[in-house]
Structure formats: structure tokens, C-alpha cells
């Protein structure tokens, strides 16, 4: 446990087990007004777990001072954004000191919006806690002892005596840094499934209005015995108590043939929600399994525009001439959206052979299509052509000429840039 105090005379003072003259000197130096004072720690709920069992680490903060303070709060699930400084981090190593693999996909396209839902106000003497599923930070693949380094820097706000409101500027930063140990044991037959029953009951109970933690567990740690439950979670209910897209993600993480067949079935179901169908198509595209291509090709014509766009972009992930021919054909579609998504599909393919077709789209009558073509060429080549400074009718022509000139000079010995996938299903 770490105790921290802050006052106007210090930025942040942290100590453990201080005593004698040093402690007396520090206390004497502190000014008289009320201080933000707190204790913070991470703690495991138990020391022994089964391999595959959800492992929770609890973050605990106690107000040990005389005034209330507040901090921002959200649902405790992992974010991939490294810009959100109040996120906890968990680093797991095995008995040999080797870091366990991180199961999270790499972030793509930068931070997407904000995740702050509100603030928690903690009165003097009160304690608050959050449970974090540490399996989101590491894959526990076998029995043995695991070392956990847990860290969090949490900004705290104090009360402004002039206004009575909590200050926007942090009054202190609560730093929790703990070293913990986990012993993992191999489960006996049926033993692991029992540990998931409380979470499944919570999801299945219509009276449970917020099963967020249970959904987090089931979709982040899918097991073969959870397949039917995940499929059921994709079905509409009277009260939408969780995001059904998470269930699709859970099926993709499960990764069994039955799981992918369930995703394909939903993508092809005209009665299903269009947003879920689009996400199913995205997952199938990122997977790129040839067995899914023929059913997806049949969906292209006649699908709603949003779903068709996801299909066209996803086709670029399949190494098959039928997929590429469909994309080339839709470059000539009457729909501006279809033409843009076909370009993005060819960008996903990322091969040298598609670049001339994308170059041709720089002459498209739609400025939106021309902008997407320019974006796709930059992504595939790593080269950027300076946009004309003026907005005359000749500007698009000069942009196309500059790109064609660059390609004539570099195309013969060009090698496409290889980018790491955001997900590896």
C-alpha cells in the first residue's frame, strides 16, 4: 500500500514506512489548509487460478484526508489508446522472467473519441474500488507462477473553496505500483466451465440491467463450451442490455470452425441487423478464409449500401481473382460510394498490380472518389503528392499528372509497403 499527500507546497509527495525525525520534519513543513490525502493499491482477489479462468485485479483507493476528492471513471475494460493517462497497465512475466504475449490487437487509425462516462466523488474516509480483467493484457497458456506488475497514475480533483466545485486542474496524482504473484493450475474436466457459470447467469438474467463485466469476461476469454452462449448473445432481445457486436468479436476470438460458420451465417441473414451484418463481414474479410468468399460475393449485388461498402472493402483481404474482379467492376459503378469502397478494397489488397487502376480513379468526376484514390495511393506507396494550392478546375488534373509522373519513374522497381494487420484472427 502506498500513502500519498499533496498540498500547495509540494507537487506530489510519496512515502512508505517513513518515521522518526524525517517524518516529523515533513509533517512540520506541510501547511495548515486541508489536504488531499489517500491510499492506493492493486490487489488480487485470490492467489490461485485455473488456466483459462478470469483473473481479476482490484484497484482500491481510500480517502484518508479531511476533504472530498473526485476522479474520472468509466467501465473498467482495456483501452488500446496510449494517450489516456489514467489507464492502468499490467505487465505479466513467467517464472523465467519472459513477458507473456499481449492478446490485444494493435490500434488502427488513432484514438477514437472519449471513454469518460463521469466522475466519482469520494468523501473523507470512504473507499472505492474497480475490478480489472488482467487476461486482457496477457495470454495465460499453461500452469506455473506468474509475476504481475500493476501500475496506475490517477488524477484527483479537489474542491475549489471559492466556488465549491471540483477543480478542473488535478490537485494530485495517485500513483499505485504493486508487484503481485499468481499461481496457475491446470483445470480438471469440467472444472473450468464451472467458473464461467456465474457470468453466464448474469448475462441470461433479464433482471440484470448491466451485465457489462460478465460480457467482458465471456467475449474476451471465449472457450469452446461458450460457443452456443456467444451465438445466443448475437440475437435480438426485448431489452438491449449489451452491445451484440461484442458477441461477434467473442466468436472471432474463439476461432473454431463452428464460430466462423456462425459469423458467416449472420452476415448472410437478410433478417439480421444491418450493423451486425456489416461487422460480421468485416471480421470475415480480416480472416480472409477462402471458404467464406463465395457466399460473400453473392451478397454484393442487392445489399444495402452500408453492407455493400463493407463487402467491397473486405474483398481486398481475399487472395482470389474473383474478389479482385468484383472490385475492378465496381470502380465503374454509378454509385459514388461503391467506387470509393472499391478503391479502399484494392488498397487492402495492397499489391503493385492494383495501382494503375487506382491511378485512373484520380480522373473520376467525383471529388470524393478522387480524394479516396489519393489517400489509397499514399497508403500503398508511402509517397505523398503535394495538393495544388489553388482550387481551380485544373487542380485535379495536375494532381493526377503528378501521381502518374511519379509512377512512371518508380513503378518498374516498386515494392508495396507491407502493413501489419490490426487483428490476427
pLDDT in tens, 249-304: 999 999 999 999 999 999 999 999 999 999 999 999 989 999 999 999 999 998 99
pLDDT in tens, 96-109: 999 999 988 765 65
Mean pLDDT for the stretch of residues 369-394: 85
Helix (H) or strand (E) holding 315: helix 305-315
Domain ranges of the chain: 2-77+85-95+117-185, 193-254, 273-425
Q: Rg of the chain over CA atoms, in angstroms?
A: 27
Sign of CA dihedral 16, 19, 21, 27: positive
Class of domain 273-425: mainly alpha
Give dist(CA 167, CA 179) in Å, integer: 32
Give the range among 81-90, 192-201, 259-268, 402-411 with minimum mean pLDDT: 81-90
Say if residue 76's pLDDT is above 50.
yes
CB atoms within 10 A of CB 19: 8
Q: Residue 319: what pLDDT?
A: 86
Give the predicted TM-score (pTM) of the model: 0.83
Say if residue 393's pLDDT is above 60.
yes
Residue 182: which residues within 8 A CB-CB, separation 6 or more?
A: 44, 47, 48, 49, 55, 145, 146, 147, 148
> How much of the chain is helix, strand and coil, in % rounded to 5?
40, 20, 40
pLDDT-based confidence at residue 10 (cuts at 50, 70, 90): very low
Say if residue 19's pLDDT is above 60.
no
Residue 408: which residues within 8 A CB-CB, separation 6 or more?
A: none
Q: Quick one: 147 exposed, middle or buried, by C-beta within 10 A (0-12, 13-18, 19+)?
A: middle
Give dist(CA 6, CA 268) in Å, integer: 59
Say if residue 390's pLDDT is above 70.
no
Which set of grid coordinates corresponds to residue 120? 466519482
Cα 309 versus chain centre, distance: 22
Cα 242 versus chain centre, distance: 17
CA atoms within 13 A on the CB side of 360: 11
Q: Residue 7: what pLDDT?
A: 33
What region does 421 belong to: left with phi over 0, alpha with psi -120 to 50, or beta? beta
Query: What does the mean pLDDT of the chain come to?
Result: 87
pLDDT in tens, 350-376: 889 999 999 999 999 999 999 999 999
Q: Quick one: 73 exposed, middle or buried, by C-beta within 10 A (0-12, 13-18, 19+)?
A: middle
Per CATH, domain 2-77+85-95+117-185 is 2.60.40: yes
pLDDT in tens, 135-147: 999 999 999 999 9
Residue 241, classed as helix, strand or coil, is coil
Residue 243, classed as helix, strand or coil, is coil
Amino acid at each position: 500500500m502506498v500513502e500519498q499527500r499533496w498540498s500547495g507546497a509540494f507537487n506530489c509527495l510519496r512515502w512508505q514506512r517513513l518515521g522518526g525525525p524525517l517524518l516529523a520534519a515533513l509533517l512540520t513543513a506541510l501547511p495548515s489548509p486541508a489536504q488531499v490525502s489517500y491510499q492506493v493499491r492493486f490487489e488480487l482477489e485470490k492467489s490461485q487460478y485455473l488456466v483459462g479462468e478470469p483473473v481479476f485485479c482490484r484497484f482500491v483507493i481510500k480517502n484518508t484526508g479531511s476533504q472530498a476528492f473526485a476522479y474520472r471513471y468509466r467501465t473498467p475494460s482495456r483501452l488500446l489508446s496510449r494517450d489516456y493517462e489514467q489507464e492502468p497497465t499490467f505487465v505479466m512475466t513467467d517464472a523465467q522472467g519472459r513477458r507473456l504475449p499481449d492478446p490485444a490487437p494493435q490500434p488502427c487509425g488513432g484514438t477514437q473519441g472519449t471513454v469518460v462516462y463521469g466522475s466519482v466523488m469520494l468523501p473523507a474516509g470512504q473507499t472505492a474500488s474497480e475490478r480489472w480483467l488482467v487476461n486482457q493484457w496477457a495470454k495465460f497458456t499453461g500452469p506455473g507462477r506468474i509475476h504481475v506488475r500493476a501500475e496506475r497514475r490517477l488524477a484527483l480533483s479537489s474542491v475549489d473553496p471559492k466556488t465549491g466545485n471540483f477543480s478542473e486542474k488535478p490537485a494530485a496524482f495517485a500513483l499505485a505500483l504493486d508487484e503481485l504473484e499468481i499461481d496457475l493450475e491446470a483445470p480438471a474436466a469440467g472444472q473450468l466451465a464451472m467458473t464461467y457459470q456465474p457470468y453466464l447467469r448474469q448475462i441470461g438474467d433479464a433482471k440484470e440491467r448491466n451485465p457489462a463485466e460478465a460480457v467482458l469476461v465471456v467475449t474476451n476469454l471465449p472457450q469452446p463450451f461458450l460457443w452456443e452462449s456467444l451465438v445466443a448473445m448475437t440475437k435480438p432481445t426485448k431489452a438491449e442490455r449489451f452491445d451484440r457486436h461484442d458477441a461477434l468479436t467473442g466468436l472471432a476470438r474463439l476461432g473454431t470452425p463452428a464460430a466462423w460458420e456462425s459469423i458467416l451465417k449472420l452476415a448472410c441473414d437478410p433478417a439480421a441487423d444491418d450493423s451486425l451484418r456489416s461487422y460480421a463481414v468485416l471480421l470475415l474479410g480480416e480472416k480472409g478464409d477462402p471458404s467464406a468468399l463465395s457466399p460473400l460475393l453473392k451478397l454484393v449485388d442487392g445489399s444495402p449500401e452500408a453492407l455493400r461498402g463493407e463487402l467491397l472493402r473486405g474483398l481486398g483481404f481475399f487472395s482470389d481473382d474473383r474478389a479482385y474482379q468484383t472490385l475492378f467492376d465496381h470502380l465503374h459503378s454509378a454509385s459514388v460510394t461503391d467506387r470509393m469502397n472499391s478503391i479502399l478494397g484494392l488498397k487492402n489488397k495492397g499489391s503493385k498490380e492494383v495501382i494503375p487502376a487506382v491511378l485512373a480513379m484520380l480522373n473520376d468526376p467525383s471529388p470524393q472518389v478522387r480524394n479516396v484514390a489519393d489517400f489509397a495511393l499514399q497508403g500503398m506507396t508511402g509517397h505523398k503528392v503535394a495538393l495544388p494550392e489553388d482550387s481551380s478546375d485544373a487542380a485535379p488534373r495536375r494532381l493526377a499528372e503528378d501521381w502518374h509522373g511519379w509512377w512512371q519513374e518508380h513503378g518498374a522497381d516498386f515494392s508495396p509497403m507491407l502493413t501489419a494487420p490490426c487483428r490476427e484472427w
